[in-house]
Copies of this chain bind each other. A is one copy, B any other.
Amino acid sequence: MITLQSVRYNYMSIDSAIEELVKVVKLNISVQDMELENAAGMICAEDIYSPIDLPPFDRSAVDGYALYSEATSSASSNNPIPFKLVNYGSVLPSHNNAVPISTGQRIPEGADAVVMVEDVIREGDIIYVMKPIPKYGNVSRKGEDIRKGELLVAKGTIIKPQHLAALSAIGMTHVKVYRRLNIGLISTGSEVVSPLQGLKAYEQGFILDSTSILIFAVLSAHKFMNVNWYGFVKDDEHEIKAMTEKALNENDILIFTGGTGPGESDKTFKSIVEMNRDIRIIARGLAIRPGRPTSIIIVENKPIFLLSGFPVAAYIALYEVVLRALYTLLKIRNELFIEVPARIVKRVYGSAGYDNYLRAKLFKCNEDLCVEPIMLRGSGILKSLLEANALIVIPRNVEGFEKGEKIWIKIL
């Protein structure tokens, strides 16, 4: 009557698993030309060098009057020097003239500095300058911002607003980006049902799924990915295999949540590895806590990540395994996490052989940052995610951290 399928976890390290994965998988993501206004958050697929100097000419950095700086050298409040204004043009007629100029306008030939509107006294078409203006004062020099031939955006960069600004400045209206990665998200687990079932599900002994939307929302915040959410599939070999076939056809990568444990109803791993396809098991279990059951299988060059059905374990594995793997596979240059040093306010212990991830609260304490681990057991504890704004990692070769020790933490 009762059978438990054999458990053969290998609990490898994340680093080894990703190294292995990258050896085996070559993602082949096509490149498309995208309008700049849609390109923020996409991955740049080309090295972009500036075809021009920026500014392309000496230009005024302020609203004021362009003049010849030497002619102001003896100016002071006791010795205001008059300049006769002439209309803006390409040449300054003489050293006794000044030209009204707007911010960004090209400096007329013969002028080499700009005096600010606020710094002169004006009477009709005469301005009086009260202090010397240095050569190139208030002038943006040709090429001082960006030099012709300079690398502006490197291939593999997740495009930020400031990149778009730089590309606009060099006359680009489109940029080559990798097409959006398609990620298939599938939920399994016999105790878990869709939130559409409502609270009555709890009375029937079921748990409303909170993990799928967590993963969906975290991934969807990355514009270079497109998440196809397939909903629930029963813990049934045929259904899992059929869903995997379908989702593999429609996606570059699959993520399963739930059904990864050693229990008898956890059929996801077993069903996938028994498919009649080119299968390669990268990891059956990883040396992380929470997230031990996390597994990685390659089916014909497409990675399938099996994550815990528990929201916290899945969340940790999503960042530390799935996103790290994707960043590595796609050669993304941006940092996945911001890491900062903080003083830990409680002693914490790891568990030998596992990288331990603690959710934590980062806060200001006097002149420093302090971090308090949220001491809630259990990988299903949603509250720890609601309160957490940081992750503490206790590496598997470290026993723990002393109270007051300064450690590097990851900002969530």
Contact = CB atoms under 8 A, between A and B. Distances in A.
Interface of A: 1-2, 4, 7, 36-37, 40-41, 51-52, 54-57, 59, 61-64, 85, 87, 100-106, 117-118, 122, 125, 140, 144-146, 152, 160-166, 168-173, 189-192, 195-199, 201-203, 205, 207-211, 213-218, 220-221, 229, 261-266, 309-311, 315, 338-341, 364, 367-369, 376-383, 385-386, 388, 406, 411
Contacts of A218: 161
Given A199-B51, A263-B63, A382-B165, A191 B367 contact: no
A411 B390 CA distance: 15
Given A55-B380, A217-B37, A102 B263 contact: yes
B40 A221 contact: yes
Nearest to A62: B261
A56 B206 CA distance: 10
Given A102-B261, A103-B263, A338-B411, A1 B87 contact: yes
Contacts of A51: 199
Nearest to A54: B382
A163 to B, nearest CB: 7
A180 to B, nearest CB: 17
Contact of A145 (B161, B196, B383): B383
Nearest to A88: B2
Contacts of A118: 7, 262
A213 B340 contact: no
A214 B386 CA distance: 32
25 contacts: A2-B85, A7-B117, A40-B217, A52-B199, A55-B207, A55-B380, A57-B202, A61-B380, A100-B263, A102-B190, A102-B261, A103-B191, A104-B192, A104-B207, A105-B191, A140-B380, A145-B376, A145-B378, A161-B215, A162-B388, A165-B213, A168-B208, A171-B202, A339-B364, A340-B369
A140 B384 CA distance: 14
Given A2-B100, A378-B61, A171 B340 contact: no
A124 B64 CA distance: 92
A376 B61 CA distance: 13
A102, A198, A364, most chain B CB atoms within 10 A: A102
A162 B315 contact: yes
Nearest to A205: B106
A220 B381 contact: no
A180 B369 CA distance: 34
A20 B106 CA distance: 38
A350 to B, nearest CB: 19
A117 B263 contact: yes
